Amino acid sequence: MTPDLLVVGGGWAGCSAAVQAARRGLKVELWESGPVLGGRAASFQEPTAGRMDRGQHLFLGAYRECRELLERLGTASELDFKTPLQIPYLLADGRIETLKASGLPGPLDLGLGLARFAPLALGARLGLGGMLLAAPELAAAAVGGPPAFADGISVADWLERCGQGPEALAWIWEPMTLAALNARPREARLKEFLAVLGRGFLRGGESAALGRARAPLTELLEPVAGFLEAAGGRVRLRSRVQGLEFDKGLWRLEGAEGEAASAARAIVAVPAAQAARILGPQRAGRLGLAAQAERPASTILSVWIWSRAPLLPAPLLAFAPSGGVQAPFHWGFSSRESGSGLWRACLVASASGGLASGGQAPALEAARDLLERRGCFSPWLRARAVAERAATPVFTPRSARRRPQATPYPGLALAGDWTDTGLPATLEGAVCSGRLAFEALSFNDE
């Protein structure tokens, strides 16, 4: 097979680019170094529980491109959304208080829900509602995009300008920033945060709904292989790319085991440091990949716990702050395994480099202490901590501008959640980058 397009990297960005091309009838050869598709959002084989994700991922109803990709692959039915938005908070005393969106259109959906959220003082609720309805930056994000100044200011600085106090920050804004950006408000750039608010929570309805995948993430992408084969292409797993060179109008890919492939066009859809290695120092320098690779990365820590009875009082909940201090874990998930009948809980901590650095024992101890303090006492059968240490890049107000997908090299484009999509480093951002990378390559003359 002589492919029309080479795609390096089988994460969500690479799969998105490959599917876009195969839809056009192009023959795509996709190379992935791992044993499965999915990249940093892939599943792994747990010795007892079988295939499971490295952490529980949430989908936002506004993830339009991500959902369209899964529709094409026939796996969108595995996503379960709850509309209108409802988030149970597990309080420090073990009670549950639920933040319920109103179901009305636009900012009124979340705004009225916050106005009725009993754990917050009346002043904080009024301040939140007024900000959602009146802040000009939010209005701009909802209809067009973040204002220009959002590129150089942190989420925390903007919230202070908007008069948001410590209570609103601890209960609403910090958990939302952690969930959306995997970074704390002081580190996170406002531009990407406003993109999430504008496309999702400010539009209300299904756009603001949270969803979970009923199947492991890798299974959502498994139909990619068949999709490419139907157009004459293929997926190559466990195929590490050593380098990519341009010669006589073709991009020539060299594999670690002596394999090779050539095509007139190529998309490199791997993290920036890997892209720099594959493309070599000269091209990496011209593309500014060093600055992209030096961007700080943030960790996501997940603690999985198996028990005979459910540990958590809800399938999805947020751990409320205590005394204005965030809990060590931010989200909790609970589900029953179909095969064993056991209950499996997952506690997730975003931007958790400190807690994750100590290994299994401190992470499990922190999880046990949090659950016991909040009245969750079911005996554990086993538990496991899983840390994705470079889960996402962090876009700070002082960091380099993100790299566009188009390059000055003929037939070469870049994809990945680190490229410039205007979105945070989420599955939606990765999928969007794959589409943009494909569109940056011209196939109109064929």
- What is the SS3 assignment for 436? helix
Do residues 421 and 429 make contact, with C-beta atoms less than 8 angstroms apart? yes
Give the separation between CA 324 and CA 167, rounded to whole angstroms.
7
Domains detected in the chain: 5-43+215-295+398-440 (3.50.50.60), 99-205 (1.10.405), 297-393 (3.90.660.10)
Per-residue DSSP letters for 267-322?
EE-S-HHHHHHHHHHHHHHHHTHHHHHTS-EEEEEEEEEEESS-SSSSSEEEE--B
Residue 156 token pair: 């925390």
Region of residue 45 (phi > 0: left; psi between -120 and 50: alpha; otherwise: beta): beta
Residue 440 token pair: 């940056």
Do residues 275 and 415 make contact, with C-beta atoms less than 8 angstroms apart? no
Q: What is the pLDDT of residue 212?
A: 92
Give the separation between CA 325 and CA 321, rounded to whole angstroms.
5
Per-residue DSSP letters for 162-212?
TT--HHHIIIIIHHHHHHHHSS-TTTSBHHHHHHHIIIIITT-GGGG-EEE
Beta bridge partners of 52: 44
Do residues 271 and 388 make contact, with C-beta atoms less than 8 angstroms apart? no
Give the separation between CA 299 and CA 309, rounded to whole angstroms.
30
Work out the angle at residue 218's Cα, subtended by the Cα atoms of residues 215 and 223, and round it to the nearest 5 degrees: 95
Q: What is the pLDDT of residue 55?
A: 78
Q: How confident is the chain (446 residues) per 10-residue block, as mean pLDDT?
A: 94 98 97 96 86 86 95 96 93 96 90 93 92 86 82 95 94 94 95 92 89 94 98 97 95 93 97 97 97 95 96 96 93 91 95 90 96 95 94 93 96 98 95 98 66
Do residues 238 and 35 make contact, with C-beta atoms less than 8 angstroms apart? yes
Number of other residues whose CB lies within 10 A of the CB of residue 72: 16
For residue 230, the number of C-alpha atoms closer than 13 Å in the C-beta half-sphere is 13
**What single-letter amino acid sits at 269?**
A
Residue 175 token pair: 């958990």
| Strand ranges, E, within 61-195 | 79-82, 86-90, 96-100
For residue 51, the number of C-alpha atoms closer than 13 Å in the C-beta half-sphere is 11
What is the longest distance spanned by two Cα atoms in the chain?
Answer: 69
Q: Is 376 exposed, middle or buried (0-12, 13-18, 19+ CB in 10 A)?
A: buried
